Amino acid sequence: MLKFFNSLFGRVVIALVAGIVIGALFPHFAQSLRPLGDGFLKLIKMVIGPIVFCVVVGGMAHAGDLKKVGRVGLKAVVYFEAMTTIALLIGAVLAYATRPGVGMNIDLHSLDAASLSTYTEHAKSLKDTAAFLLKIIPETATDAFAKGDILQILVFSVLFGSALSLLGEKAQRVGSLIDELAQVFFRVMGFIIKLAPLGVLGAIAFTTGTYGVESLKQLGMLVIVFYASCIVFVAVVLGIVMRLAGFNVFKLIRYLREELSIVLGTASSDAVLPQVMRKLEWMGVKDSTVGLVIPTGYSFNLDGFSIYLTLAVIFIAQATNTPLSIHDLIVVVLVSLITSKGAHGIPGSAIVILAATLSAIPAIPVLGLVLILPVDWFVGIARALTNLIGNCVATVVVAVWENDIDKARARRVLNQDADLRFVPASAESTPRPASGEPAHAI
């Protein structure tokens, strides 16, 4: 029991429970705690850009062979598209099987269109494919870091890492500097992660105080179906994928329980991106593979988000008594394959992408999005959790395909071998081991 209270996971769970209690008993005070959650997320986002840059550039420089980097990237994209398609189909199948919106008989004239104005404005920018692709390219190198746009940072990092790799010994000092900077940023992240319980306390207290305890229990059939869909996807689809790769998905979830508990409280996977990358490297995955797959996956491999896209679209059609043909469903899936790639980094991303998707399908009223606004935060918890687990599984699978993982070490880590206990960056006294090399707890 003492070990539980002393662990980050234990403190986050305690903060989660305390936040719910405070929100239920003292709702006005709980709402004033929102800055704790917002502040924690801002601290995390402050260092995500530099960490992604250092990890991607360092990984490419160490990989040496740019053909290998390209091969890893191609395999990752193929895997992402396959998983995204399966996730979209699962959302559609379960929506039809459970019919969560049937019987609501919503009159569109009774819905408030004003509440959607902000989201539809953002959605307009996603209709132009050329504009969307150009948006991936930053205006300047510093602009990408200033905005914290992971995809733009990734583009710049790949170009920088490629140049560094081609220069070889001429750029050795630059490579060494970036490696040292990575250590510094990971140490900073270690300091920030210690504040996770406060961040979770503030976020969950504010939500409970604002929406009430009832909102945690009675979120409606849509939320229940979505959570069930995510569980099916993780346990069955990702479970089979991990089994084929030689590992157990539930052991991976247990290994990442601290990071997942933070996502549970904040509804944001951004908060744990750097820590997850560190843990996958510690597990035995080569740093160059982690550095390419994880950041790319944050924009291209949104499994939980993909499930929600088709589920929400069909829910709105059912709730408004809008008939959907097979052609409409095919269009939903195909459009979602494209629009889902623009989800990361957009304010209210789920509603924005849904608005962009529905605008391409005239049969379904965009105004129906008003129906799902009240539960978006709660749905966002499962979306973020599923997205994170999916990206970690993707990294392991691509690493297995490329033989970039020490399988023996990975199994020992996932089996909780005491000699390979993960050491947080803030507790390290010596440099962290290179991926694939033997390491021992400090």
416 vs 371: CA distance, rounded Å: 44
Alpha helices in 194-325 (DSSP H): 196-211, 214-217, 221-232, 239-245, 249-255, 257-266, 273-283, 287-300, 303-319
Residue 196: the pLDDT is: 79
Residue 215: the pLDDT is: 47
Question: What DSSP character marks residue 252?
Answer: H
Residues contacting residue 307 through CB under 8 Å, at least 6 positions apart = 87, 88, 90, 91, 226, 229, 230, 233, 383, 386
Q: Are 273 and 318 in contact (CB under 8 A)?
A: no
CA 431 centroid distance within chain = 28
In-domain check, residue 433: no
In-domain check, residue 429: no
In-domain check, residue 426: no
In-domain check, residue 338: yes
Residue 284: the pLDDT is: 93
In-domain check, residue 282: yes
428, 430, 433, 437: CA torsion to nearest 10: -120
Query: What pairs with residue 285 in β-bridges?
Result: 405
Task: State whether residue 102 is helix, strand or coil.
Answer: coil
Burial degree of 166 (CB within 10 A; 0-12, 13-18, 19+): exposed
**Which of 102, 83, 34, 152 is CA-nearest to residue 323?**
102
In-domain check, residue 50: yes
**Residue 419, CB-side half-sphere exposure with 13 Å CA sphere:** 7
Residue 206: the pLDDT is: 80
Token pair for residue 37?
A: 């959650």
| pLDDT tens per residue across span 201-244 | 887 788 678 766 554 443 467 888 999 999 999 999 999 999 99
Domain count, the chain: 1
In-domain check, residue 437: no
Centre a 10 Å sphere on the Cβ of residue 367 and count the other Cβ atoms it contains: 20
Nearest 5°: the CA angle 275, 344, 373 is 115
Burial 50-59, CB ≥16 within 10 A → b, else e: bbbbbbbbbb
Residues contacting residue 152 through CB under 8 Å, at least 6 positions apart = 136, 137, 138, 143, 144
Residue 140: the pLDDT is: 86
Residue 359: the pLDDT is: 64
Residue 440: the pLDDT is: 31
Q: Are 12 and 262 in contact (CB under 8 A)?
A: yes
CATH label of the domain that carries residue 195: 1.10.3860.10
The owner of tokens 């789920």 is: 350
Task: State whether residue 285 is helix, strand or coil.
Answer: strand
Q: Which domain holds residue 266?
A: 2-420
Determine if the pTM surpasses 0.75. no
Q: Are 210 and 26 in contact (CB under 8 A)?
A: no
Centre a 10 Å sphere on the Cβ of residue 236 and count the other Cβ atoms it contains: 12
| pLDDT tens per residue across span 50-62 | 877 887 787 777 6
Residue 441: the pLDDT is: 30
Q: Which residues of the chain have pLDDT under 50?
A: 112, 115-116, 118-119, 215-219, 345-347, 427-442
In-domain check, residue 207: yes
166 vs 177: CA distance, rounded Å: 17
